[in-house]
Amino acid sequence: MIKNFSSYGLVIRLVISAVLYSVSFVLYYSVDFTAGRFLAFVTALAPLFILYFPGVSTRPKDRGEENWCPVTMNKIDSIIAMNSRLKSVKIPFFYNPFVMIPFLFFLLFFLLFLFSFSGISFNPFILIIPVTAFIPFLFYGYIRKWYPARLIDSIKIFEPVYSAVLPENFLLVPYLRFDRDKSGLVVPEDVKFIYEPRRDIKGFNSVQFILTWNNGPKGSVPYLYAVLLFTDSDLREKIMTGCSGYICEIQNTGENGEIFPLVIRQNTSGSGYHTTKDDIHCLVSYVIMLLKSFSVN
């Protein structure tokens, strides 16, 4: 029924609602028995269905897919630029949810004030009309602006990673994790960066920089770490043995048993659960030092 009413024009629905509000007043004051007053109450509520208009949000409804794909830095820059444009879009105040609440309270207080000083006996039914009339303004037809704040924050935190000067034999490859909305359009949700060798290096595959978010006393805080991928377990053991200033942890090998991961991360004791920009610079410098040693080999 709600869907059928929403197919009519707004002017027609406003006229029908105004007529129903008027009829509810007439029914209430012209009929004394309880059934008549109940009918007046139902008539006053009917415009809620007639005026119904669903709100919208710019947040995509994803499918829960997780597809990591390599992209260029131009794609990363375009996401940042698009986010800036989204943030600059101004939504008229009357499309914001609950923006009419102050006006509703003002109207109710005005009516109560009017009754208290006019000598007219107060009738609670008189408040039903303004309350029901304002409900469409409170809950219908709103616009919620959304932009990928977490993704943008992640990209900014990765800045020391993608702005670093790499050894000649390595290149930067950004990766985005894509989902799809109900229309099938791709939606970027997460990001990571990989340093890959331009030419094969014996025993070494690549290094991934991965960002997670921890819950701190003041909200979510970033925690960034590196995962070095080796094709030779002996080389991984050698790097782990010489690891200094960081926690180095061996991860399980891949399903095919050909990749041997080594995690390099900062100590999480104390405030270590929060990776600062200086921490990231230090981690990147340490990883690049290792890459240079691989390049020599």
3-state secondary structure of 230: strand
Residue range 247-283, pLDDT digits in tens: 888 887 665 668 899 999 987 776 667 888 999 999 9
pLDDT value for 126: 64
pLDDT at 133 over 70: no
pLDDT beyond 70 at 156: yes
Q: Does position 84 have pLDDT exceeding 90, yes or no?
A: no
Q: What is the DSSP string of 178-190?
A: EEEBTTS-EEEEE
Per mean pLDDT, which range of 1-15, 81-95, 167-181, 189-203 is the poorest?
A: 1-15
User: What pLDDT digit, counting tens, does each position of 192-246 carry?
Assistant: 999 999 998 999 999 999 999 988 777 888 999 999 999 988 899 998 888 888 8
Joined tokens for residue 102: 């102050």
pLDDT bracket for residue 1 (50, 70, 90): very low
Say what the pLDDT of residue 66 is. Answer: 81
| pLDDT tier for residue 151 given thresholds of 50, 70 and 90 | very high
Statement: residue 121 has pLDDT above 50: yes
Give the start-end residues of each E strand in 125-218: 143-144, 170-180, 186-197, 204-216
| Dihedral class, residue 211 (left if φ above 0, else alpha if ψ from -120 to 50, else beta) | beta
d(CA 138, CA 148) in angstroms, rounded, equals: 26
Mean pLDDT on 67-79: 93
Q: What is the pLDDT of residue 115?
A: 66
Nearest to 150 by CA among 70, 221, 86: 221
| 263 CB-contact burial (10 Å; exposed 0-12 / middle 13-18 / buried 19+) | middle
**Nearest-angstrom CA–CA distance, 15 and 172:** 62
Task: Report, as an integer, the average pLDDT of 30-39.
Answer: 72
The pTM (predicted TM-score) of the whole model is 0.72
Overall average pLDDT of the 33-44 stretch: 76
pLDDT at 6: 64
Give me the pLDDT at residue 118, please: 63
Residue 122 confidence (pLDDT) above 80: no
Average pLDDT over residues 24-42: 74
Query: Which tops the pLDDT comparison, 96 or 153?
Result: 153
> What percent of the chain has a predicted confidence (pLDDT) above 90?
29
The answer, yes or no, to whether residue 3 has pLDDT greater than 60, is no
